[in-house]
């Protein structure tokens, strides 16, 4: 589906290295952590750390962090720590949430597939789902707090692509699948915090 998305949105898939460090690292690390974790299917976080080490991820990240820090007058050690956590623990946590969502959605009659790296990073789409001829784009989270802008952007991409947006909240005990509640809250946040400020 990624070619369809690129053609319809006309977005340049090449990331700009002058952008913030996350995108700089993703472009230059030479390792697709999203594809890697879904191919490897680690059972524990320690398994995932072992896989990252085996692929020389941390040494590559360290070199990039130092280079980026020097160019932008930042603390290289702090950058390394922050993005080690992002690509390590947060990637693993996100993978486990998405895996739970896939298994749950299948029990409800959905056919579910994982998005590509481009769709995940740039369009905020984690999964695609189909049921009764309807096509859904799914964003999986542990909470919506602080992510209202991302959810709003996600819904705008879905409108352009003719997909039904779904926000799924995964907690240790429950999975909440919604096509309205979290999306309406994000739209309200956007109106109050972006549109209203522009008009002042």
CB atoms within 10 A of CB 125: 27
Burial class (CB in 10 A: 0-12, 13-18, 19+), 119: buried
- pLDDT tens digits, one per residue of 27-67: 788 888 889 999 999 999 999 999 999 999 999 998 888 88
For residue 121, name the pLDDT band (cuts at 50, 70, 90). confident
Helix 21-28 × helix 57-72 angle, to 10°:
130
Tally of structural domains, the chain: 1
Confidence at 71, pLDDT banded by 50, 70, 90: confident
pLDDT at residue 6 tops 50: no
Residue 140, beta-bridge partner list:
168
Domain span at residue 168 reads: 2-199
More confident site: 200 or 52: 52
CB atoms inside a 10 Å sphere around CB 128:
19
């Amino acid at each position: 589906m990624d070619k369809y998305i690129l053609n319809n949105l006309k977005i340049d898939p090449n990331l700009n290295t002058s952008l913030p460090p996350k995108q700089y690292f993703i472009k230059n690390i030479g390792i697709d952590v999203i594809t890697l974790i879904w191919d490897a299917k680690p059972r524990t976080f320690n398994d995932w750390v072992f896989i990252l080490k085996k692929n020389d991820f941390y040494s590559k990240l360290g070199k990039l962090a130092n280079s980026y820090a020097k160019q932008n007058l930042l603390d290289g050690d702090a950058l390394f720590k922050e993005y080690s956590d992002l690509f390590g623990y947060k990637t693993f946590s996100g993978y486990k949430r998405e895996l739970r969502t896939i298994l749950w959605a299948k029990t409800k009659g959905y056919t579910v597939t994982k998005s590509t790296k481009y769709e995940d990073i740039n369009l905020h789409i984690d999964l695609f789902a189909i049921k009764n001829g309807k096509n859904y784009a799914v964003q999986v989270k542990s909470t919506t707090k602080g992510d209202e802008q991302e959810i709003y952007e996600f819904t705008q991409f879905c409108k352009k692509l003719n997909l039904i947006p779904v926000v799924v909240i995964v907690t240790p005990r429950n999975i909440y699948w919604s096509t309205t509640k979290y999306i309406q809250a994000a739209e309200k946040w956007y109106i109050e915090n972006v549109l209203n400020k522009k008009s002042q």
